Structure 1
Amino acid sequence: MNAGGTCALELESVSKVYGSGDGAVTALNGVTVGVRRGTFTAVMGPSGSGKSTFLHCAAGLDRPTSGRVLLGGTELSKMREKALTELRRTRIGFIFQAYNLLPSLNVLQNITLPMRLAGRKPDPQWLRQIVESVGIAKRLEHRPSELSGGQQQRVAIARALITRPEVVLADEPTGALDTRTARQVLDLLRSIVDEMGQTVLMVTHDPVAASAAHGVLFLADGKLAGHLPQPTPERVAERMTHLGEW
């Protein structure tokens, strides 16, 4: 977990407190972690452990109460909202459980939307490489409603990659998929990391999903509660059952 040029994303002593006084809730408590470029990292923890807040702070969607978040050396907490929006559009890719595709746009238009919003034209070669690698090259004219859940999530992955982001943040990306489709999507995410050198950070509650990653970060009560390299579903599940003892 070394800092410096090898990290795509760094959180330094990040704390996030919601509310104030007696009603204050500490969602993150002094979390320091570096996500190395070209790695696939899963984030796990019991309900209420701070996983969502972790992802939101990493994405610049939530500002930490204290500490710093750095994306490739850019400190997010110091940026104004307009600059942050621009950064999220071009330097971070997002994948959600609910796909978040626009029903009125076809697949190609959904994929290239982040570029259009940023006022840029997609690189045709990169676009072709992405749609082929995620396996939807033959579906570009279709609307989301004409696709299966797994295909829609592939479109969402392509959309996340179109700007060549520095990091892709995935929030329960297989949560709405059946086991077989989920496996295909996880294999796809892993191949994007291994073959394209992309960096993926994925929040999940599923030990099987987490086992697709190179390593798993565990959160408990808003604190970092360990790291498991080369995870297997069994080892992840075992670690999760012991998290209450941290």
Structure 2
Amino acid sequence: MTDVVRLDAVSKVYGTGQSAVAALREVTAGIPQGSFTAVMGPSGSGKSTFLHCAAGLDSPSSGSVKLGGTELSGMDETRLTKLRRQRIGFVFQAFNLVPALTVTENITLPLRLSGSRVDRAWLREIVSRVGLDGRTGHRPAQLSGGQQQRVAIARALMTRPEVVFGDEPTGALDTMTAREVLRLLREVVDGMGQTVVMVTHDPVAASYADTVLLLADGRIVDTMTAPTSERVAERMTRLGAWV
């Protein structure tokens, strides 16, 4: 399979001298096209930094990050912003919807910001796939948490991105609603051929992925395929300094 995202020997150091902290240390990983990857690790393991570097939200101190054939390292912020808007989707724990806008307006906001035309047929398909038929005129305050996260997922898909990054996308949801959102992300991969990378602390959430990357002390220390929540939870107790 072709790698949509590729990190080669990526390190990220915050601060200098005595106060320097290495958040990532020589991380190499590939995210295959059409796959669902979960990134896990204890607090301070580097999983958020991994996502930020992979998604072009932060620049590595050394190493290479590629989206498709495009090298992100060394790009200026203007070019990175344009690339993120056109080629990457984001789903966050806090939904990040605009309260004054309707569901349709929130979903199409990235296209409006970039001055791009809205493909109405694609919009209808996405709205249907994420289960928001009949809700398109509502505003976020009129929706449940799960419905708001569905809007955020639809917004992430609207630009037909090469990869969707989720940062704890179920972290603010109750257990039942979280499972609905995870099933939707699974369907986005299986039914639409999308690539999803999700940072999570929840072994149940990770079990929906094809592959789990386990980080500790800024390094990938294990890769688990066909994960179950039990195997992930057990492995999480034996990571890095916790061993």
Cα deviation, 1:42-81, whole Å, max 9, x if unaligned, reads: 0000000001100110111110000011001101112121
Structure-2 residue corresponding to 1:63: 59
Structure-2 residue corresponding to 1:106: 102
Is 1:149 matched up with 2:151? no
Is 1:212 matched up with 2:208? yes
Residue in structure 2 matching 1:121, options 117, 122, 146: 117
Task: Assess if the C-alpha contact under 8 Å between 1:40 and 1:213 holds in 2.
Answer: yes
Unaligned runs of 5+ in 1: none
- In structure 2, how many angstroms separate the alpha carbons of the residues matched to 1:90 and 1:184? 27
Residue in structure 2 matching 1:23, options 19, 25, 28: 19
Residue in structure 1 matching 2:87, options 50, 70, 91: 91
- In structure 2, the residue corresponding to 1:26 is in which secondary structure? strand
- In structure 2, how many angstroms separate the alpha carbons of the residues matched to 1:171 and 1:36? 19
Q: How high is the sequence identity, in percent, across the aligned residues?
A: 68
Structure-1 residue corresponding to 2:236: 240
Is 1:188 matched up with 2:157? no
Is 1:136 matched up with 2:136? no
State the one-letter code of the partner of 1:235.
R
Unaligned runs of 5+ in 2: none
Task: Assess if the C-alpha contact under 8 Å between 1:122 and 1:163 holds in 2.
Answer: no
Matches within 5 A, 1:7-22: 7-22=3-18
- In structure 2, the residue corresponding to 1:138 is in which secondary structure? coil
Cα deviation, 1:158-192, whole Å, max 9, x if unaligned, reads: 00000000000000000010111000000000000
Cα deviation, 1:98-130, whole Å, max 9, x if unaligned, reads: 000000111000000001111101211111111
- In structure 1, how many angstroms separate the alpha carbons of the residues matched to 2:215 and 2:199? 11
- In structure 1, how many angstroms separate the alpha carbons of the residues matched to 2:120 and 2:54? 30
- In structure 2, how many angstroms separate the alpha carbons of the residues matched to 1:128 and 1:72? 28
- In structure 1, the residue corresponding to 2:73 is in which secondary structure? helix
Structure-2 residue corresponding to 1:158: 154
